[in-house]
Amino acid sequence: MKKMSRSCCCKFGVFLAASMVLMSSVKVDGDPIVPALCIFGDSVVDVGNNNKLLTLIKADFPPYGRDFAAHKPTGRFCNGKLATDFIAEYLGFSSYPPAYLSKEAKGVDLINGANFASAGSGYYDQTAHLYGALSLPKQLEYYRDWQRQVVDFVGQDKADTIISQGIHVVSTGSSDYIQNYYINPLVRSLSHDQFSDILIKSFSCFIQNLYNLGARRVGVTSLPPIGCLPAAITIFGQGSDHCVTRLNQDAVAFNEKLHAASRRVKAELPGLKLVIFDVYNPLLDMISDPADDGFAESRKACCGTGLIETSFLCNKLSLGTCRNATEYVFWDGFHPSEAANEELANKLLEQGYQLIFN
């Protein structure tokens, strides 16, 4: 069990107040607070779409999922729940949005939303193409299919309400840097300013397309401190055990552009509620002062050596895998543990009130 930190009482008070507001808003008949939750992005939010793809970026084998329901892997890049799983629970959903390519994504189970995310995807289409992942345009294509199915189930009028009042979460961008820009000489010829502009243009286009399809409540995560990911330190840290400053500087610069682009998009699209969720600072706090949040380790991940393993490198034969992942900020070299995801979900909940209530 995680120890209560010196900041825990304050955080618990904020979360308890937020939870009480949310719980008081859940309808008596057990309906969730919002009619649907649709999720787009990369491995941080993929719940199994890559299981069905011809790609090396998968998490449908042990020890992934060892702390999830039934202790079985699902395709989540985590030992248990993702931040979006916790968010679904907080919003009152009785189940998580299913991976759109999975066998669970059928019938009435789709009315409350779906997950279109794909590990290895990014704002830059070529990132997804490099790894056989679903690009954002492809995810949007599946989203259109989802809308058509909802219309078939409930009719156009009710479907329009589900779509406009449902929450759409977009979490991507890290793969564009770690798995493309920093290692691909064809892209590395671009300055960071040029590359980030390409990503921002893609972001703006994606939000415009969502809006054109009826979405009005959209939450987009910022880049995390990519220079602090265990594998990033190992690969780019030149022997150091500390966060790679230049990578974090790139993330900060991108996030500043993301906020500016968000303001422009909102000014151009009437009725759009668009929130940029700050993931960078909450995760950096956990990494910098892990004990404050009840963690013992933030440099190494739980799986294997904790220095680089992810996807097939993180497997049931990986030597050194920890027994208690709640003590670790990271589960594998790139992805937070369930315990860290819960902390992040609480922060996103605090930041996203206007998507739910206004």
Measured CA to CA, the distance from residue 243 to residue 230 in angstroms comes to 9
| Cis ω before 63 (30° cut-off from 0) | yes
- Exposure of 257 in the CB half-sphere (CA atoms within 13 A): 21
Report CA torsion sign: 131, 137, 141, 142.
positive
Which residue among 42, 46, 293, 335 is the active-site one?
335
- Amino acid letter, residue 311: S
Measured CA to CA, the distance from residue 154 to residue 329 in angstroms comes to 42
Measured CA to CA, the distance from residue 61 to residue 65 in angstroms comes to 8
**244: helix, strand or coil:** coil
How far from 140 is each of 211, 251, 269, CA to CA, in Å?
A: 11, 25, 19
Which residue among 42, 43, 121, 311 is the active-site one?
43
If you count DSSP H runs as helices and E runs as strands, how many of each does the chain have, helices first? 13, 4
**310: helix, strand or coil:** coil
Which residue among 46, 85, 176, 332 is the active-site one?
332
Q: Is 332 designated active site?
A: yes
* SS3 letters across 318-339: CCCCCCCHHHECECCCCCECHH
Cα angle vertex 190, ends 188, 196, to 5°?
100
Ramachandran angles phi, psi of 173, nearest 5°: 120, -35
Torsion angle defined by CA atoms of residues 287, 232, 72 and 23, in that order, rounded to the nearest 10 degrees: 40
Measured CA to CA, the distance from residue 246 to residue 93 in angstroms comes to 40
Catalytic center residues: 43, 332, 335
